Homo-oligomer: A and B are copies of this chain.
Amino acid sequence: MIGVDWGTSSFRAWRLGADGGILDRVSAPRGILTVEAGTFEAVLRELVGPWLQAGEDTILVCGMAGSRQGWKEAAYLPCPADAAGLARALTPVDFAGARCFLIPGLSARDEQGVPEVMRGEETKILGLLDRLPPGRNVILSPGSHSKWAIVQDGTVLSFLSQFTGEAFAVLSTHTILARTLDKSAPMDWAAYDEGLVRARQPGGLLHHLFGMRARGLFGELADASAASYLSGILLGHEVAATLPEGTSHVFLVGDGGMMARYARALAHAGVTTTEVPEEAAATGLWHIGQSLGLETTR
């Protein structure tokens, strides 16, 4: 089968063997924002053509391709949800010569009833299932909107999102903080740690943001350290507000740079982490494919 993670800004696909092994891979800067309406089938065919010619006839697609702005809307599946549930909720799309399905995202409600959504992360989370110990596990997927999921025995029980990545992007670009912040500077881990410490002090996130400005004015925060400090403040606040009580370990799945930052923020909170490569999505796609096979042969 062919598994695809088709996001807002990037496209990744894998040819998967019967045992879930990765036989081949392709990636391209062809996120859904670059795809004209009505051309999703053609773009996909172009990118995975050789595998189709080699006989593959099943394609599973996760990510923003299933959003309103994508190929076709694949309605969110409410939690609790597992691979079999996702396989039952696939949205078929036309693809000459193969069967092609969009995987729905997941929805949930937080304890106060406010809705939650994810699209793409659910597949990465399913890709981790084989690595998880029995019982309740916390999985964190960094991103513009990071996702903290509670998973037990193969089922995503609930999850919670944080606006951290997007907040960092706008604060470091469009506010007065940007004037004394050098985005091109390398990561300054000491400044990042200062931000983590700051996040545990009183006054709240909005106060800590102003203090960053004042530190810059007083020559107490170098432009080259400012982005790292801001990142520490934001991730420190995220971890303090989100970490489920009693959590001692978190599984991290996602991209390299942010993984190290989250691992450090969690270590600062006394929590150990396991980092799982982003290719977990390939395994997740295979798990859903397995469930799909069972469904269709019955």
Interface mask (A60-73 → B, CB under 8 Å = 1, otherwise 0): 00000000000000
Which of A26-34, A43-51, A236-244, A289-297 makes up part of the contact surface? A236-244
Contact A176 B170 (CB under 8 A): no
Q: Does A112 contact B (CB under 8 A)?
A: yes
Most buried by B among A164, A176, A207: A207
A24 in contact (CB, < 8 A): no
- Shortest beta-carbon distance, A213 to chain B, in Å? 8
Q: Are the C-beta atoms of A214 and B117 separated by less than 8 Å? A: yes
- The complex places the Cα of A114 from the Cα of B213 at a distance, in Å, of 10
Query: In the assembled complex, which residues on chain B have CB atoms less than 8 Å from the CB atom of A160?
Result: 203, 207
Q: Give the interface residue-count category, chain A.
A: 35 or more
**A173 CB–B CB distance under 8 Å:** yes
- The answer to whether A206 touches B220, judged by C-beta atoms less than 8 angstroms apart, is no
- 28 interchain pairs (CB within 8 A)? A110-B211, A111-B201, A112-B198, A112-B202, A114-B211, A116-B211, A145-B213, A160-B203, A160-B207, A161-B210, A161-B211, A162-B210, A163-B210, A163-B213, A166-B175, A167-B171, A167-B206, A170-B171, A170-B174, A174-B174, A202-B241, A203-B241, A204-B205, A204-B238, A204-B240, A204-B241, A205-B205, A207-B241
